[in-house]
Chains A and B, each alone.
Chain A
Amino acid sequence: MSHKIIVPIGPYHPLQEEPEYFQLYVEGEKVVDIDIIIGYNHRGIEKLSESKHFDQVPFLVERICGICSSSHPYAYCLAVENILGGEANIVPEKALYIRTIIDELQRIHSHLLWLGLAGHFIGYNTVWMWAWKYREPVLDMFEMVTGNRNNYAMFKVGGVRRDLKDEDIPILKKMLDELSPGVDLFRGAIMDDPVIKMRLKGVGVLTRQQVVDWCVVGPTARASGVNMDIRRDEPYGVSDRLDWKVILEKDGDIFCKTIVRILELYESISIIRQSLNKMPKDGPIDAGVKDIPAGEGIGRVEAPRGECFHYIKSDGTNRPVRHKIRSPSFMNVASDKVSAVGGTISDATLTLAAVDPCYCCTERVAVINKTDKCKVMNGWDLIKLSQEKTLKLKEGYYGRPE
């Protein structure tokens, strides 16, 4: 059985909602190598950002990803505020609390989304639907607070755009109370199910050393026992004033990654509860920042998938001169190279999904170095193919154009 065949996962595949191409080299069912090819949907956001003024960029960067659509603007705001002298010195007290609440709500909805998708990937569609049912109230909370289910447009340099209304707070608390039983349900259903354990235990293992070697971040790293969490290591918002803990697991397999995410849901719920209780009743929510001086700043935020890093360089005009984004999935997806190789195809698909990949964060310009004969289609090739197909169809209907 030394016959190697290529099993393509992507660019269009039921496993993924986004275009990304994983080439699995398999012998029988065993994966012996994997190629990760990105660059199907590059949007040039860093370059675009240089053409927008500082107040417009949050709207742009929150559209990098629909799931972490508060992490990116938050990290950007932190970066700009770093130039101005630090978030804690500028942003009003109440805005800090609102920022933390939005950030943690986003973590809950992202983890629930992943949980559902993970259920779908192991063929457990009931978990999928149930997880997304419990995610719905979280999106409702977002709609209540920000007016949007996604792309919240809450962040601006020096504060937040909308205040949290006093009459909303009891409703939010009640919705959080109703969320906890749902999370309990998943904890029970996943931690105690023998079949799920069979599928996930010891699969897609990332050892502690591999995590360090491949710069893996976020829950994926914490599942391997690497104690890192930006919320604690470099506090932002009010995360240092609240009582919560970093969830750690040791084994680094998919089961641990699932457990870490489920337990983090509890921490996030607790953080939001505490923030709602401690938040000052009134006060400004915006510092009214007018000018950004020349300088460089960085912002780091613990996105649901790991550390989200933004770098801003300003020359004193109203636009960033350079905006560099390093998103967590870009670091995590690469680790599939070690965790997916050696397992079967069934395990590989789970392993690919276990890092909670967000491909729109991962997209970069891809330069393909053609050394072998095998043809790799890039995004433009696919568009051309589609155009040819459309032409052919049109010919079928209207006849060949003169």
Chain B
Amino acid sequence: MKQIFYCLIFPGFLFSAVIGLLTGWVDRKITARLQWRIGPPWHQNFTDIIKLLGKETIVPAGAKYTFLFSPYIGLISAVLAATYLGRSIIAPLESFSGDLLVLFYLLTIPALALMIGASASRNPLASLGAAREMKLVLAYELPFILAIITVIIRSNGAIQLGQIIRQQLFFGSNVFSFSGFLSFLVALFCVQAKLGIGLFDIAEADQEIMSGTLIEYSGLPLAVFKLTKAVMFYTLPLFIIVLFLGCSLSPLFLIAKYLILLAIIILIKNTNPRLRIDQALKFFWRIPTLLGVIAVILALFGL
């Protein structure tokens, strides 16, 4: 019963979706203010989702179960990730050894679900978007793993979120060391790519392939994808905070850190054009991967 409550209400589905949608609103509002616009009211994202729920679901000929189920797979894994993460912040001792790895896998699945759904939709633009998403995943996963490895090394080989948080509680946040700072930068770029915003808004590039992966989705499945994105928008910055800014996770500090991190992400998003997919691949395999390797080596030397 308790587990179901965790998963569905707090800190799982309901909580993460609401916070994620509000985060999306913060993003839209800050973006709008940067661009001398007014921006939407706070409930705009909720209205969008509710509106989508009432729309007709159009299924392209020949696409069936995979097309309709993949959004839910993405949402479920994102929500599970949010639940694990939330629980390990609230009760660090409750977590089990290896939950970091589980979380890492769960955070990858929404991208996979997007690819599978897009490929199932039998649209050339969607398949282009899926191909781009696939290349992007290949590009950012390696540096992301390196960044996580740095954290693992810094917390004496613990692959448990609770351990990592406790370690930072005693020895200060990871980001205040050389290796921690480098891998924090790497993770910041990976989060942008995972969210598909700003520099890495490649798979959904509106002006190029008409929101590629999502082109055939409408109504409820589209709303589910949007919700997945919102949940990810809440989970990923939180994940970064737990990994790199983990000292003192009291609610007030947590919210402050979250908002600052969000502001950084939004600023990067709004001051850069979109990269081409090959450029994104080159970028990730050169700079962040190199930085990640350096960070791992530095961490091995205890810096």
Q: Chain A: interface residue count, which band?
A: 20 to 34
Q: Which residues of A contact B209 (CB under 8 A)?
A: 7, 345
A119 touching B273 by the CB < 8 A rule?
A: yes
* Main secondary structure on A side of the interface with B: helix
* Residues of B171-205 whose CB lies within 8 A of A: 198-199, 201-202, 205
Interface string of A324-363 (1 = CB under 8 A from B): 0000000000000000000011110100000000000000
Partner-B contacts on A (CB < 8 A):
5-7, 13-15, 26, 28-29, 119-130, 133, 193, 195-196, 198-199, 344-347, 349
Binds A, one of B33-41, B66-74, B222-230: B33-41
B275 close to chain A: CB less than 8 A: yes
Q: Can you show 10 pairs from A to B with CB atoms below 8 A apart?
A: A7-B125, A15-B207, A29-B128, A123-B207, A124-B272, A125-B270, A126-B34, A195-B272, A195-B273, A345-B208
B58 close to chain A: CB less than 8 A: no
Contacts A129-B36, A346-B276 hold; do A123 and B205 have CB atoms under 8 A apart? yes
- A349 interface neighbour in B128, B198, B207, B271, Cβ under 8 Å: B207
Closest to B283 in A: A198
B60 close to chain A: CB less than 8 A: no
B128 touching A7 by the CB < 8 A rule?
A: yes
Q: Which residues of B contact A347 (CB under 8 A)?
A: 276
B278 touching A123 by the CB < 8 A rule?
A: no
Q: Smallest distance from the beta carbon of A136 to chain B beta carbons, Å?
A: 10
Partner-A contacts on B (CB < 8 A):
31, 34-37, 124-125, 128, 131-132, 198-199, 201-202, 205-210, 270-279
- A14 interface neighbour in B206, B275, B276, Cβ under 8 Å: B206
Q: Smallest distance from the beta carbon of B37 to chain A beta carbons, Å?
A: 6
Measured CA separation A122–B207 after assembly (Å):
8
The 9 closest A-B pairs by CB, nearest first: A123-B274, A129-B35, A124-B273, A122-B273, A5-B124, A346-B276, A15-B207, A349-B208, A121-B207
B271 touching A126 by the CB < 8 A rule?
A: yes
Q: Which residues of B contact A5 (CB under 8 A)?
A: 124
Q: Smallest distance from the beta carbon of B16 to chain A beta carbons, Å?
A: 27
Q: Smallest distance from the beta carbon of B278 to chain A beta carbons, Å?
A: 7
A7 touching B124 by the CB < 8 A rule?
A: yes
Measured CA separation A257–B207 after assembly (Å):
20
Q: Smallest distance from the beta carbon of B288 to chain A beta carbons, Å?
A: 15
Measured CA separation A7–B128 after assembly (Å):
9
A5, A123, A193, A347: residue with the most chain B Cβ atoms closer than 10 Å:
A123
